[in-house]
Amino acid sequence: MKMQLLVLIIALLFAGVGNLAYGLPKVDKYFRLSGQARAFWNKPWVIGLIAGVAVGTAVIVRFGSINLLLLFPLLTLGTVLSVIDAGTQRLPRSMTLTFLILVVTVVILAGFITGQWVKPAYALIVAIGSFILLLPGTFVRHGIGAGDLRLVPLLVGLATCSSWHSLLLMGILSVVGSGLWALYLVTVKKASSATRFAFGPWLLAATYIALLVVPR
């Protein structure tokens, strides 16, 4: 119980530093640059609450599992990245670079802790492969954005480092979730084929859920 409480405190510190101390100024900056008004769902206290709930749920459900370590990048920056992308359709380069450093760190640590380097190797291969596959889409009009190109390989790498089942569930959830949202935009909001919407929040949420519910 004491160890679980210690892990919870550490995770909350990471989430606080990443999503609030580091993330909130980024939220203000990119909402201002995009001319988007701040709404209820992206208020600082809402971001903090969501991040805190995500941390608490992860520690309770996945304590003692290597998946909790793999969740740390998402717990640290996932909420604020989702908010920025949802509101501005941007994934800042500096933040995805920080996310990259966190992902590489936890994948390497997972290899040392488990003594199994096959899954980190698979994670690297799948991440590079997904980057290569998605790269042509950045040259297509209304194709994948540069931010998504940087984010997707990192998330599929995290899921792969856990298990192929995690990767499969992450893919299913992200496609279904974003597809339903696109259907809502078209049918209710009367969006056109040229309307842009954020894919990042669905990817981040799907990866979080996959690492949370698929045991390892």
Q: Are 66 and 8 in contact (CB under 8 A)?
A: no
Mind listing the pLDDT tens digit for each residue in 5-37? Answer: 999 999 999 999 999 999 999 999 999 988 887
Which helix (H) or strand (E) element contains residue 151? helix 146-162
At 141 the pLDDT is 74
Q: Which residue has the tokens 């998402």?
A: 74
Q: For the residues 145-156, what does the mean pLDDT come to? A: 93
Number of H helices, E strands in the chain: 9, 0
pLDDT at 195 over 70: no
Mind listing the pLDDT tens digit for each residue in 85-106? Answer: 999 989 999 999 999 999 999 9
Pick 184 or 128 by higher pLDDT: 128
Domain limits for position 32:
2-213
pLDDT at 175 over 90: yes
Total domains, the chain: 1
Q: Are 67 and 211 in contact (CB under 8 A)?
A: yes
